[in-house]
Structure 1
Amino acid sequence: MSVIVVSGTGTEIGKTVVTSAIAAAAAAAGRSVAVLKPAQTGLEPGVPGDAADAARLAGPSVTAVELARYPEPLAPDTAARRAGLPTLSPAEIAEAADKLAASHDLVLVEGAGGLLVRFDEAGHTLADAARLLDAPVLVVAPAALGTLNSTTLTAEALRARQLAALGVVIGSWPADPDLACRCNLADLPSSSGLPLLGAVPEGSGALAPEEFRAAAPAWLDPSLGGTWSARSFLAAWPAG
């Protein structure tokens, strides 16, 4: 895979940290990596965004690219309209990703919020960009109550659009997971129809970059460049 689209079931669920972990594992394996953030919302100019944060955590060799920035923490289409700034089309996102793929082994395209958040006035979403790229989508999901519904809805949306889904990574696994988290861990694959491909411990984004890079492969399935095992993880956190 030269391009992976990283989406989520919502906002603030760990997409950037998961993206950073995949980038770190790939860079450690000697691959050239780029992180593309099509639309950064909620930040003023000059403040490091998600792409820059991913590169900080994953390593200095990782290329960070941001296509558009809107100051208010809203959906890209709404934020662009309120700021009087141009929106992004799926074609622009796909063109930028293809250009990066020509000079990098792996390009990670991190969405904004969930899969169907609007990017422009026509209602285009990250799913439309994934279709143009013919790229698989990795779903980042929370562990807590409610994740079965949101993850399954995201998986159904991918299937309805005939988009390939790699699987699910839990963006922030609690240090002391409650019963709902442990049950969700076991139920997510059957509910969503997607395999579990990793779990990132909560607070990982606050690690020093060197610690983050050293730990990242242990959070990810081998298909994402790591050493994580769903079977072992499930055995370590039984529903009881």
Structure 2
Amino acid sequence: MSAEVLFVTGTGTEVGKTVATAAVAAAALAGGRRVAVLKPGQTGVAPGEAGDAEEVVRLAGPLTTRELARYPEPLAPDTAARRSGLPTLDPARVAEAVAELAEQHDLVLVEGAGGLLVRYDEQGRTLADMARACAGLGLAPEVLVVAAAGLGTLNTTALTAEALRARGLSLLGVLVGSWPREADLAARCNLADLPVAAGAPLLGVLPAGAGRTDTAGFGPLALAALSPRLGGHWDAEAFTAAHRVPHP
């Protein structure tokens, strides 16, 4: 199978994973690629309500989506499953779904819940275990880490990168999920420091409010915010230089 498999995780909650997933999907669609988005475990959404996969479609446009489990309370998947009496997710089941999607698509995006090590089942298995299960099927998954822009993000990014390395997983790079209109000192310094903390390149910066864009405007926004590695034309060196902070 030649499909690219990319797991999208965050350094925590509310860092912009879904919008980031939509941006990568939109750029791939603009490049003529067949795209599928898998949401293994959706939490905090009632039956019949639109979840993260539907939000990706709203932003990026028509593509294949699949959701394997849904839990109504906005909690970690393991906790939400236990409280609702619904079954938890097995990494092998996720890997099988990814393999099926990879047969018919050029890019399969797997969006996690919260951060990399959020528990999905009683055994404490995580998104990282799902990625390792995919590797066991010969799918060669990579991981994109979506990080916050400001103070505190270097630590959580470094911890996530260290956890990936410890599990033998490939970190493709880091993406800032929401760049503020008025970036403070920490955010501007972090443009240079995030790649160092992650040991991987900065692959894009999505502007704050990107998720409020309509489908017609989101595609061009995605291309402008993502590096060529993710299908866009954003220039990390130029963006970092433009926001460089002079030494006192």
TM score, norm. by length of structure 2: 0.95
Question: 2:199 maps to what in 1?
Answer: 193
Deviations 1:3-39 (A, max 9, x none): 1000110011000001000000100111110110000
Aligned pairs (5 A) from 1:25-36: 25-36=27-38
Aligned pairs (5 A) from 1:1-240: 2-60=4-62, 62-134=63-135, 135-240=141-246
Query: 1:101 and 1:227 mapped to 2: Cα distance?
Result: 26
Query: 2:227 and 2:99 mapped to 1: Cα distance?
Result: 25
SS at match of 2:109: strand
Deviations 1:124-156 (A, max 9, x none): 000011112120111000001100000000000
Query: 2:48 and 2:96 mapped to 1: Cα distance?
Result: 25
- Give yes or no for contact 1:186–1:239 (8 Å, CA) kept in 2: no
Query: 1:180 and 1:223 mapped to 2: Cα distance?
Result: 26
Q: How many residues align?
A: 239
In the alignment, structure 1 segments of 5+ residues that lack a partner are: none
Q: Letter of the 2:28 partner, please give it.
A: A
In the alignment, structure 2 segments of 5+ residues that lack a partner are: 136-140
Q: CA deviation at 1:191?
A: 2.0
Q: Letter of the 1:151 partner, please give it.
A: T
Q: Percent identity?
A: 64
Q: Letter of the 2:22 partner, please give it.
A: S
RMSD, aligned α-carbons: 0.8
Q: CA deviation at 1:215?
A: 1.6
Query: 2:243 and 2:90 mapped to 1: Cα distance?
Result: 42
- Give yes or no for contact 1:24–1:58 (8 Å, CA) kept in 2: yes
SS at match of 2:159: helix
Question: 2:138 maps to what in 1?
Answer: none
- Give yes or no for contact 1:75–1:118 (8 Å, CA) kept in 2: yes
